[in-house]
Chain A
Amino acid sequence: MATTTPNYGWAVPTSTDLVKDGATAIETLGDSIDASMFTALGTKKAGMVLLNTTSFSAVTSVSLAASTFTSTYDNYQVIYKFTSTAAGALRGRVRLSGTDATGANYSEMNVTVGTGSGPGRQGTLNGTEFNILNLATSANLTLNLNFYDIAKAAPTSITGFGIQHSTASNFIGADHSLSTAYDSFTIYATGGSITGAYSVYAYNK
């Protein structure tokens, strides 16, 4: 007697079934699989899409590859994990066609909490770069940045969170005011070098 699969109830034969209407049975099974796949991927697509993961070693700045951000998606998330060799500010700039935007269009409103201090504020209006956070000596940082509308001809918003092991947590809110589409982002350490990796995800739509 025919049976069904345990998770999605697709009709399948058992080994004791008489062999007949084979093509019909295959078509029925195929339609069932198609329907299940469309439900999983068509109307309920994966929420985020991994675009790439890239490693870096002993560099003072890291730029995402050109055309990382495209009009395919509106919003992106970049997760950085790295260590630093020295203390210093970690800064960032939006980037287009291989060139960082250096105009005075960056604003941030950040909060830092240390293990024994804080919260402290860092605010800038119309600076020439983002002041993301201050890296401690030999920092072990996990930084999560969300970019909204960065690849649109619209101002870019950034939210994020950083955690430096046993040192500080950083809450980040920033924006770039120009209505320009950018395709990349650069972070750079003002003290020493950084080693680690980043992963870029797109929020599916």
Chain B
Amino acid sequence: MTMAKSETIKIQDGDTVIELTGANKEAYLAERAKDQAEFETQQAQKEAQKQTRINAYTKLGLTEEEINAIL
């Protein structure tokens, strides 16, 4: 995830534009980074579950084509 590297970040609420600088900007970026980390963790868990299923299907003797059709 790449956020704006300028000194200010602007967010808009209705018609009101709020410029975030300094500590407010850092807090905003930290929140976005936390969200991204949670997303990546969840994606990694999904990928691990998917790989577990692939391994199980392989042990059962399914072909790669059959496994892809199921997933």
Contact = CB atoms under 8 A, between A and B. Distances in A.
A123 B50 CA distance: 13
Contact of B38 (A123, A127, A192, A193): A127
Given A127-B38, A188-B32, A60 B11 contact: yes
B14 A59 contact: no
A98 interface: yes
B12 A62 contact: yes
A58 interface: yes
A56 interface: yes
A60 B13 contact: no
B4 interface: yes
Nearest to B1: A190
> Secondary structure at chain B's binding surface: helix, strand, loop or mixed?
mixed
Contact of B35 (A59, A60, A63, A91): A91
A33 interface: no
Nearest to A65: B14
Chain A: interface residue count, which band? Answer: 20 to 34
A203 B71 CA distance: 38
Contacts, number: 64
Contact of A60 (B9, B14, B38): B9
A131 interface: yes
Contacts of B38: 127-128
A191 B33 CA distance: 11
A66 interface: yes
A97 B1 CA distance: 28
Nearest to B28: A60
B31 to A, nearest CB: 9
B17 interface: yes
Interface residues of B, number: 19
A129 interface: yes
A111 interface: no
B15 interface: yes
A54 interface: yes
Nearest to A54: B15
Interface string B13-33: 111010000000000000010
Given A59-B11, A60-B9, A128-B38, A86 B2 contact: yes
Interface string B27-53: 000001001101100100010000000
6 contacts: A59-B10, A129-B35, A190-B1, A190-B3, A191-B3, A193-B10
